[in-house]
Structure formats: structure tokens, C-alpha cells
Amino acid sequence: MNISFTSYGAAREVTGSKHMVTISGKNILVDCGLFQGKRKEADEKNRNLAFDPASVDCAILTHGHLDHCGIYPVLVKNGFRGQIFCTPSTAEIATIVMNDSARIQTSDIQYLKKKAAQKGLPPPDIQPLYTEANIPDVTARFHTVDYRKRAEILPGIYCTFHDAGHILGSAGIVLESGGVRFGLSGDLGRSAMPILRDPEFPGDIDYFVCESTYGNRLHDEMSTAEDEVAAAVMETYRRGGKVIIPAFSIGRTQEIIYLFHRLMDDKRLPHDLAIYVDSPMSVNITEVFKRHEECYDDDIRRRFVEHRENPFGFSQLKYIASVEESKSLNSLKRPAVIISASGMCESGRVLHHLANNIGDPASLILVVGFMAEHTLGRRLAEKQRVVRIFGEEYDVLARLKNLNAFSAHADYHETLKHMERFDKTRLKNVFLVHGEDDALSKLRDRMSTAGYTNVTIAEPGTTYTLS
């Protein structure tokens, strides 16, 4: 049997995941995600796929993050006619994420047109990659499969999803044909994280494609994060300030809500402290979390589900829907916690809350997520004293605290631990993807030291013929 592997995205970088596994002449595309980064370069790569969509026989989606699902509408628009396999909760999250992406693209272009008109220039000649009208053509192709159920995705080719513990519904996958087992980690999560189960062992495999985001890093322990959040919030409460938490809508927001719920239940925070979740996307994604108890770990089941209690709702918590309600938080006179998106402070309602509170020495900005270079979030995390918000300069007088325990990706120690259970004598090749150069080379060296042979950093567009 012939198997080959080609990575068309997230090879030597972290966004734009697109991995083609070819088994006996059939092309199986695993993820079709959006490239993010420098605008012009990313746009070019997002418009022009490096393969013919009509040549893809079947597709798989590992999880609902934009850099894994965001280009499926382009794939379908350009001739893909197969099914897209994913878990039930991934189908729901990806639908929200693709629609959100379509809306952002449309409003970005409207903004650029308005700017051009103000300068008396002709409107720029750009079209969105896709609009909301394109999304139903994608979702109609979704075919959902539960974890650990072996599905025949093409004649004689099987796929099984295993919980990756990365975000709700996330999966590592094993493709199987003629006794050969080909594994892909998807985005690999961490052990002992709240809400989600630990990454699951997929059984022995012959080939493994492994993500490498934190191949050069170790995370702080999650157990101390709860104490640190409690202490920081209490100090701010006593000063009479507000806690602003920029948080990703998928996963991080729900982890933070769940953490505050536990702190309230354990009476570690004052009963009159109000907590607001102010982001329409975060509210929608939290609804998906509520519907998919089958993805929860034992801890959240014991504490909440068994008592028929909603883990994402408690009396001090309020979800903000309308713009008016969001604006009314500006005039709030008492201490409060505001959890809002976007996670990297590049857009969304969090910008208003930052602008409104950044000059208040009693307030606190709590950084709980990864902040990419050249974002406002990174400048805040670096404790710069002056920042620009909506084009205006602000002195940063509010306090700043970084928490490094929250991460949805395994560090190198956790990745190697995940792989320990594989039978090394069976595993013939490991391909590293989804990482920057330093993370990739350090992880390759660590794997070689740990006794794995044939560890290769996948080069973009290179086809590796395996058997």
C-alpha cells in the first residue's frame, strides 16, 4: 500500500493548518485553516490553495479554531465535493467561527472603503475570501463522529477521533487502512486542565504527525493559577478598582468563568463582586460548552453535572448581550471583573474596557493568554507605560499581571509524555508541524535524545513517500 504525506500549511509556522495524507491514491485533507500574520502575505496564501480542491476525496477537521477550519469555505467554493468529518461539538464551534470570520472580513473591507472615500480615493479592489452566504455549503458537508468510534471515511479507509484535550471537541486522529495506522496529533492539549479531559492515547501507530507550538517551552503549574487569580482579584477589590481580563472566546473564557465559579463556591471572593462576560462570540461559544457535557472531565462532572448545576452560571455572573449594556459598564462605580474579547486586544469590546480603565491606578489588567508580537496585548504584557487604543495615546496607570499557567497547548515535557506510550519499535517516522523554527528544532532534538528515530521537520509542500 502507498501512503504519502504533504503539509500545505502550518509547516515551519503555526497557522494555516493543511495536511494531506494520500492513501492508495485517495487524498484526505486534515484541516483547512486560515493563515494569520502579515496581512498581504497571509491574504495571498489564503486565496491561493497550493493544491486542487477538486482532487481532495475527503476532509477531516480536528477542531474549531480559525487556523484549522477557516479556509474550508474557500475549499468548497473552489470545487471540493466530499464530506468533512469532525466531532459534534467541533461542527458547532467551527460554524460559529467561520461565520464570525466572514463578518470580520466584510466589515474590514467596508472600513477600508470608507477610509478611501474620506481621502477622495477610488474604492480598493478587494473581495472577502468568503461571506456568510458561503457557510451553509460547508456545514452541509459536515459528517459528525463521536470520539473512539471508527468511521469508514472512504472505501477501506477508516478514521477514529481521540480526545486531544486542547479545546472542546478537539481531536487527534488515526487513519487506518490495510493494517497501517497513521496518526496526527491535531493541536495537543495538556493534562490536568479544567473542564476538558486529558489527551487520550490513540493506540500504537506507524507514523505520527505532531504539533510543536511549545517545543521549546515549559508551562507553569495550573494549580497555583487559582491562588494567584484569587489574590490579585481580592487586592483590586479592596482598592475599589476593576479587573479587566482579555480572553479568547473559545476555551479560555470558559476556563476563567469556571475558575471564578469555584472561587465563589469556596467563598474565596466577596459575595457582592460582580463578574461580567462581555463578548457576543464568548456568549455563543459558552452555549456550545453547556450543550456538550459528553466532553467534560470527571472534576466538572462531580462538582456540577451530577448536581444538575450549570458550571457556566452563578448568581454573581452576568452575560452581556447588547451594546447598550456593554456601554453601561463604563459608568459602573463599584469593583467588578470584566472578561472580554478579543484575546490579544486587537479588536472587539475589550478595547473599550481597556480605554476606560487603563488610566485608573486601582484597576488591574490580568493577562491570561498568549499575546502575539505586534499586538496591543503583547505591549500590555510587556508592561509598556504608554499604549495606543483607537489611535489615541494612553498612560498605563492600571496594574498589570501576567499568568503563564493557562495554555491550550502541551509544552515539550507534556508532548514527550504523550508519546511515551507509543511502541517505539513500531513507530517508523515522526513529522513535526505547527511550530516556529526554534520550537521545531528543539523538539526534534529532544525526541531524538528520547530514542525516536526518523524525526523530520515537515517542509511546506514537500511530499514524503512512506510505504
Q: Which residue ranges make up the site for Zn ion (CB under 5 A)?
A: 65, 187
Which alpha helices (DSSP H) does 59-123 contain, by range? 66-69, 72-77, 88-118
Q: Give the DSSP H/E element, type plus range, for residue 384.
A: none
Q: Which is nearer to Zn ion, 379 or 434 (CB)?
A: 434
**The cell 517545543 sits on which residue?**
215
**Shortest spacing between CB 246 and Zn ion, in angstroms:** 18
Residue type, 363: S
Q: Which is nearer to Zn ion, 57 or 187 (CB)?
A: 187
**Shortest spacing between CB 97 and Zn ion, in angstroms:** 11
Query: Is 456:464 a contact under the CB 8 Å cutoff?
Result: yes
Q: Which is nearer to Zn ion, 65 or 418 (CB)?
A: 65
**Shortest spacing between CB 222 and Zn ion, in angstroms:** 18
**Shortest spacing between CB 71 and Zn ion, in angstroms:** 14
**Shortest spacing between CB 287 and Zn ion, in angstroms:** 20
DSSP string, 260-303: HHHHHHTT-S-TT-EEEEE-HHHHHHHHHHHH-GGGB-HHHHHH
Q: Which is nearer to Zn ion, 206 or 211 (CB)?
A: 211
Residue type, 257: I
Report d(CA 41, CA 263) in Å as an integer. Answer: 44
Report d(CA 181, CA 162) in Å as an integer. Answer: 14
The HSE-up count of residue 292 (CA atoms within 13 Å, CB side) is 23
Hey, how many other C-beta atoms are within 10 angstroms of the C-beta on 99? 18
Report d(CA 399, CA 458) in Å as an integer. Answer: 42
Pairing of strands 26-30, 58-60: parallel
Hey, how many other C-beta atoms are within 10 angstroms of the C-beta on 2? 10
Q: What's the angle, vertex CA 421, arms to CA 415 and CA 426, rounded to 5?
A: 110
**Shortest spacing between CB 133 and Zn ion, in angstroms:** 26
In terms of phi and psi (left: phi > 0; alpha: psi -120 to 50; beta: otherwise), the region of 267 is left
**Shortest spacing between CB 329 and Zn ion, in angstroms:** 30
Q: Which is nearer to Zn ion, 65 or 401 (CB)?
A: 65
Closest Cα to residue 65, out of 37, 34, 39?
Answer: 34
Q: Give the DSSP H/E element, type plus range, for residue 156.
A: none
Report d(CA 452, CA 463) in Å as an integer. Answer: 21
DSSP string, 44-63: HHHHS-SS-GGG--EEE---
Q: Which is nearer to Zn ion, 187 or 206 (CB)?
A: 187
Q: Which is nearer to Zn ion, 19 or 65 (CB)?
A: 65
Residues in the chain: 467
**The cell 517516522 sits on which residue?**
429
Residue type, 78: N
**Shortest spacing between CB 152 and Zn ion, in angstroms:** 27
**Shortest spacing between CB 363 and Zn ion, in angstroms:** 31
**Shortest spacing between CB 33 and Zn ion, in angstroms:** 9
**Shortest spacing between CB 273 and Zn ion, in angstroms:** 32
Q: Which is nearer to Zn ion, 186 or 335 (CB)?
A: 186
Q: Which is nearer to Zn ion, 65 or 252 (CB)?
A: 65
Q: Which is nearer to Zn ion, 71 or 354 (CB)?
A: 71
Q: Which is nearer to Zn ion, 233 or 295 (CB)?
A: 295
**Shortest spacing between CB 67 and Zn ion, in angstroms:** 7
Report d(CA 142, CA 130) in Å as an integer. Answer: 18
Residue type, 73: P
Closest Cα to residue 206, out of 417, 428, 441, 36?
Answer: 428
Q: Which is nearer to Zn ion, 65 or 190 (CB)?
A: 65
